[in-house]
Amino acid sequence: MPLKLTPAAIERQVKTKTNQVSDDVMREAVSAILTRPRKIDRTYDIPYVAGYSKDGRTVFIDRHLPLEMNIGRVRQRIIPYLVVHEMVEKSLLDEMRLHYLHAHQIALRAEQAAVRAAGIGWRAYDRFMKTNEKKIGDERLRRVPSTLDLTPYRDEHDFEELQNLTRAKG
């Protein structure tokens, strides 16, 4: 069930009025997207680092993923960019009926734009995520949410991961 926002509520989220590619607009979009899931849940084991519930109301982020990464001497939160990815992907799957591979590619581009708009280098962020994805992927699934949408694993034909998820769901 999609989140129902009034046109006025949506209008209030826009502070920067421009049709040009803009980091300010991207940052506003990230803030707006972060209001869409009802819950961000970090208590489960989630393959590929993050996922979403079947109804799209919850974004699941693996419990082992650090909340922040170091950029020089600055600690940078990473959760907003994962939420952007997951919400864009889920919307494209459900609303546009795209195949997971296409939805994932578009979501990855949105995530990349959000990361760059925040002043974070994409290569550093991507390296951090791939390192953690590898660590998380090597761990045994112990706790998996019963509401996790399995579409990405089905569409990727990741049958081994699907079996692991099915065994660990609960």
Sorted by where each begins, the domain ranges of the chain are 23-168
CB atoms within 10 A of CB 102: 14
Largest CA distance in the chain: 49
**pLDDT tens-digit map of 45-80:** 998 899 999 999 999 999 999 999 988 788 999 999
Return d(Cα 129, Cα 137) in angstroms, integer. Answer: 12
Residue 93 vs residue 15, higher pLDDT: 93
Which residues are paired to 37 by β-bridges? none
25 pLDDT more than 60: yes
**pLDDT tens-digit map of 76-112:** 999 999 999 999 999 999 999 999 999 999 999 999 9
Return d(Cα 52, Cα 41) in angstroms, integer. Answer: 9
13 pLDDT more than 80: no
1 pLDDT more than 50: no
Q: What is the mean pLDDT of residues 6-21?
A: 70
Residue 159 vs residue 112, higher pLDDT: 112
Distance of CA 5 to the CA centre of its chain: 21
Residue 85 vs residue 16, higher pLDDT: 85
Write down the pTM of the prediction.
0.84
